[in-house]
Chains A and B, each alone.
Chain A
Amino acid sequence: MLRVDVTKHLGEFTLSASFTSEGRVTGLFGASGAGKTSLINMIAGLLKPDRGIISLDGETLDDTEARVHVPPYRRRIGYVFQDARLFPHLDVRQNLDYGRRMNRLPDDPAQRKRVTDLLDIGHLMDRRPGKLSGGERQRVALGRALLSKPRLLLLDEPLGSLDEGRKVEILPYLIRLRDEGIPMVYVSHDAAELRQLATQIVMLRRGEVTAFGGVKVLTGGSK
């Protein structure tokens, strides 16, 4: 269970969001500038809230009153960025293995095979990120986050930088992933995408939660 109740001032803009999600895939929906990325950056621990609480499965990650701020590397929350952010000096194999090495997890060939099969990236292992297409890069980023064995996976418009053809290429992998049962927070401004993926929707508008509930809140079609 993810509980978020935070306020953050960012220049002129104030983000103030409060919700509790038990959904397997929580969709954060809103136009660009609504505060979606700032919100998941706070869940990841990359941004500190000015006030409030973030907790995951009963563990407090942020509590401004108690001066608690767990740094990102101790949260075990995976993050797939819109721009992939693969390490350019490492090949695909080393990128995928990075989280396991940093968390000193034992080698798990079965899990690695499952993830590489799920994402069809087995043939890319020896390539550098510079030699991958946008869709391949995003799939590797997804695999890299999964293999660090996170408790929660954050996805920030993972299809945002891709053209239509590539989107259709990645979406089935995301649906497979959801059906594997890894809890996710999925940020998007695309209602159609969220209708296919999300089980719960948090709608953001100019820094505030305007609606919360099942996928049907999207049918209001507000953008």
Chain B
Amino acid sequence: MFEISPTEWTAILLSLRVAIVATLVATPLGIALAWLLARRDFWGKSVLDALVHLPLVLPPVVTGYLLLLTFGRRGLVGAWLADHLGIVFAFRWTGAALACGVMAFPLLVRPIRLSIEAVDRRLEQAAGTLGAAPWQVFLTVTLPLALPGVLAGMVLGFAKAIGEFGATITFVSNIPGETQTISSAIYSLIQTPEGDLAAARLVIISIVLAMSALVASEWFARRATKRLHGN
């Protein structure tokens, strides 16, 4: 039963590529946003907070459709990016990465924000009195102490990205070799007669991937607690 076919391999590797790129691009943005939400007060903060969480509560098909309207070949942002920078999202794997990144973003930001909030501000004050400018305080005190939370957020975001289905298929469709991830491959297989066995293999693989991500995330969270207690 465990003979993985070339098409299945293509889907697995594509899923990994999409999820890794989505996570790596989303992480710096996520850290910046988490810091803003954790440490700054500004006008419109609750709106921004809601906006970050929107993909979590919106039907994925809506998120995908909105991405299509915005980043599609004729979308406002999509047309500009294609004309000026040559970046195309529509029906490409990059579009799958964008959809996965957006869907994973709330899950990625949350642990980072919580771990930044847990950093003792009195330590940041102490760093200031020792001559550290705010950006130095962030790089030498806040971020290192929040690092386990950052890693946990990355793992969780990765797990979400690798399993994303609704927004991806709506935005970039289900093209083998270009946008067909594990999820869309499973979807195609269970609609094909005699596709059950292949679908089962991909199902097991996605369960293993998701479980490993959750276990890793748990491990990072435990390290975070230890680190903040100074051992």
Q: Whole-angstrom distance between the alpha carbons of A130 and B228 in the complex?
A: 10
Q: Contacts of A85 on B, CB cut-off 8 Å?
A: 120, 122-123, 125-126
Question: Interface segment, A8-16, A51-59, A95-103, A113-121?
Answer: A95-103
Contact call A102/B129, Cβ cutoff below 8 A: no
User: Shortest distance in angstroms between A35's beta carbon and chain B's nearest beta carbon?
Assistant: 18
Q: Whole-angstrom distance between the alpha carbons of A101 and B81 in the complex?
A: 42
Give chain A's interface residue range (CB within 8 Å of chain B).
Answer: 20 to 34
Question: Interface segment, A26-34, A69-77, A176-184, A201-209?
Answer: A69-77
Contact call B128/A88, Cβ cutoff below 8 A: no
B145 within 8 A of A: yes
Contact call A72/B144, Cβ cutoff below 8 A: no
| In-complex Cβ contact of A72 among B120, B128, B140 (8 A) | B128
A144 within 8 A of B: yes
Which of A83, A86, A87: most chain B Cβ within 10 A? A87
Contact call A89/B144, Cβ cutoff below 8 A: yes
Give chain B's interface residue range (CB within 8 Å of chain A).
Answer: 20 to 34
Contact call B123/A130, Cβ cutoff below 8 A: no
Q: Contacts of B131 on A, CB cut-off 8 Å?
A: 73, 76, 99, 102-103, 148
Which chain B residue lies CB-closest to A104?
Answer: B131
User: Shortest distance in angstroms between A192's beta carbon and chain B's nearest beta carbon?
Assistant: 28
User: Shortest distance in angstroms between B123's beta carbon and chain A's nearest beta carbon?
Assistant: 6
Interface SS of chain B: helix
Q: Contacts of A81 on B, CB cut-off 8 Å?
A: 122, 126
B16 within 8 A of A: no
Contact call A72/B229, Cβ cutoff below 8 A: no
Given contacts A88-B229, A130-B230, contact A102 B126 (CB under 8 A): no
Which of B127, B130, B136, B145: most chain A Cβ within 10 A? B130
B204 within 8 A of A: no
Q: Contacts of B192 on A, CB cut-off 8 Å?
A: none
Which chain B residue lies CB-closest to A78?
Answer: B129
Q: Whole-angstrom distance between the alpha carbons of A130 and B230 in the complex?
A: 5
Q: Contacts of B128 on A, CB cut-off 8 Å?
A: 45-46, 71-73
Q: Contacts of A72 on B, CB cut-off 8 Å?
A: 125, 128-129
Contact call A99/B125, Cβ cutoff below 8 A: no
Contact call B130/A98, Cβ cutoff below 8 A: yes
User: Shortest distance in angstroms between A50's beta carbon and chain B's nearest beta carbon?
Assistant: 19
Q: Among residues 4 to 24 in chain B, which have CB atoms less than 8 Å away from a CB atom of chain A? A: none
Q: Whole-angstrom distance between the alpha carbons of A98 and B144 in the complex?
A: 14
Q: Among residues 120 to 152 in chain B, which have CB atoms less than 8 Å away from a CB atom of chain A? A: 120, 122-123, 125-134, 136, 140-141, 144-145
B227 within 8 A of A: yes
Contact call A102/B127, Cβ cutoff below 8 A: yes
User: Shortest distance in angstroms between B127's beta carbon and chain A's nearest beta carbon?
Assistant: 7
Contact call A88/B227, Cβ cutoff below 8 A: yes
Which of B122, B127, B131: most chain A Cβ within 10 A? B131
Contact call A102/B228, Cβ cutoff below 8 A: no
A129 within 8 A of B: yes
Q: Contacts of B125 on A, CB cut-off 8 Å?
A: 46, 72, 85
Q: Contacts of A76 on B, CB cut-off 8 Å?
A: 131
Closest 3 CB pairs of A and B: A130-B230, A88-B230, A99-B130
Q: What is the interface of chain A, defined by CB distance below 8 A to chain B?
A: 44-46, 71-73, 75-79, 81, 83, 85-89, 98-99, 102-103, 128-131, 144-145, 148
Q: What is the interface of chain B, defined by CB distance below 8 A to chain A?
A: 120, 122-123, 125-134, 136, 140-141, 144-145, 227-231
**Apart from A88-B229, A89-B144: 13 A-B pairs, beta carbons within 8 A:** A73-B128, A73-B129, A73-B132, A83-B122, A85-B123, A86-B230, A87-B127, A89-B145, A98-B127, A98-B132, A102-B132, A102-B133, A145-B130
Residue pairs across A and B with Cβ atoms less than 8 A apart, 29 shown, are: A45-B128, A46-B128, A46-B129, A71-B128, A72-B129, A73-B130, A73-B131, A73-B132, A73-B134, A77-B129, A78-B129, A78-B130, A85-B123, A85-B126, A86-B230, A87-B123, A87-B126, A87-B141, A88-B123, A89-B230, A98-B130, A102-B131, A102-B132, A102-B133, A129-B230, A130-B229, A130-B230, A131-B231, A148-B130
